Amino acid sequence: MDFSKIKNTAIAKRVREEGAALVARCHFGVQGLTKTEEDVKKALYRLLDTGFKPVAFDTEPTFVKMIREITGGSIRLHAAVSYPLGRMTLKKKLQDLENLLNMGVEDTCVCLDWQAVFSHRYSDVEREAAAIMKEFDGKFYKNAFVIPATLLSDTEMIEVLKALDAAGVYSVKVNPGCKLGVSYEEVMLIKRHFPNRFDIHPSGNIRTLEQFEKYVELGCQVIHTASTLDIVESYMQRQLKLYGGLDE
């Protein structure tokens, strides 16, 4: 949005501040082993042009050095561990988390072992999560544990969350993305069975302002969406019309 074209500076300032507040609740970036340096730069420069700061810019470890050089460390970075199937060993996950800290990555998520989840080895899920929490709790801005909620029954979801609860986990990313999109029902299930227990991060197929606002309404404080900048543009246009800025 070109704020210089809004004649009422008070309205322009208000809309910009509200847009910044929306982005500050989002994860935005480019992840995936097939993504190139140009893909990352395109998304990063688009973000920098807005002047807004998300919770974190999501990326692969390969691009961390480049991003930090471009941003001067002004934007928090996020990288995932054992994405998306969680099949790395616990030792490898711990090593990767330590490496992320050494690289200057401040925010992370750890994918749970899908084989353990689907085999109903919930005690293994609990042991792994507890070991990671013991070693890294408090060292990252947020360390969310990723569950493939869309592939689980309600009962399986509850059992996985019981294991994470017992392990002392408090941030849960609902779906890794990677073609698995979150649903309102999944978030509501967690809220219903674990009220005020987990910091829930919805992820995957959140592409519209309506979806974003629904997850906020459900109590989600952090939302992962590659459509962050499109969503905030829709939001600011709506707010500008609401405040009468289009008529100035």
Task: Please tell me whether residue 231 adopts helix, strand or coil conformation.
Answer: helix
Average predicted confidence (pLDDT) for the chain:
95
Residue 114 in contact with residue 139, Cβ under 8 Å?
Answer: no
- Say if residue 124's pLDDT is above 90: yes
Quickly state the pLDDT bin for 79 (edges 50, 70, 90).
Answer: very high
Give pTM, 2 decimals. Answer: 0.94
Residue 226 in contact with residue 30, Cβ under 8 Å?
Answer: yes
Mean pLDDT along residues 63-73 = 96
CA distances from 190 to 27, 82, 137, 161, 187 (A): 21, 23, 22, 8, 5
Nearest Cα neighbor of 142 from 103, 183, 192, 200 is: 200
Higher pLDDT, 31 or 108: 108
- How do residues 188-244 score in pLDDT, each as one tens digit? 999 999 999 999 999 999 999 999 999 999 999 999 999 999 999 999 999 999 998
Going from the N-terminus, what domains does the chain have, and what CATH number goes with each?
3-247 (3.20.20.70)
- Say if residue 246's pLDDT is above 80: no
pLDDT of 248: 46
Mention every residue, 6+ apart, whose C-beta is less than 8 A from residue 244: 8, 11
- Say if residue 23's pLDDT is above 50: yes
